[in-house]
Amino acid sequence: MIPLTHVLAISIGLFAIGLFGALSRRNAIGILMAIELLLNATALNLVAFNAYLPSAPAGGQALGQTVTIFVIGIAAAGAIVGLALILAVYRQTKTISADEIHLLKG
């Protein structure tokens, strides 16, 4: 019914929008949100290939979904540490605009 290319088009669109946000948002938490979009795009890609292409890995046909569980877990870990870093920097410099955090700049 729905070709694989259409699902991949949605995943590519999410990836491009997330990449644009990660490169151009001024706010550090905005950058974190765009990174979550990037990870979601890859997870959607994995699940789509799992659903459309039958394969026979060792553990049954659920390799794509299993890796997606790991991607979701690692995204959670990344968001946790990223937010802790942002909080620490905010406490120090009272700003979270990525343009104004340049303490290491010469």
Partner 1 sequence: MTPPWLVTLLSRAAWGSFYLLGGITLLGALGVVLTRNLFHSALCLAVALLGVAGLYLYLAAEFLAVAQVLIYVGAILTLLVFGVMLTARIADPTVPALNRLAWAAALVAGGIGWVFWRAVAATPGLPARPSVVVSLETLGRGLVTTYVLPFEVLSLILIGALVGAICIARRPS
Residues 67-86 contacting partner 1, CB under 8 A: 68-70, 72-81, 83-86
DSSP string, 48-59: HHHHHS----TT
CB of 104 to partner 1, least distance (A): 17
Of 47-66, binders to partner 1 (CB under 8 A) are 47-48, 50-54, 57-63, 65-66
CB of 30 to partner 1, least distance (A): 6
Note whether 35 binds partner 1 by CB under 8 A: no
Side-chain-facing half-sphere of 6: CA atoms under 13 Å = 3
Nearer to partner 1 (CB atom), residue 3 or residue 106: 3
Own/partner pairs, 5-9, CB within 8 angstroms, 24+ separation? 7/44, 7/48, 7/52, 8/45, 8/48
Burial category of 18 from C-beta neighbours within 10 Å (exposed 0-12, middle 13-18, buried 19 and up): buried
Of 1-30, binders to partner 1 (CB under 8 A) are 1-10, 12-21, 23-27, 29-30
Note whether 93 binds partner 1 by CB under 8 A: no
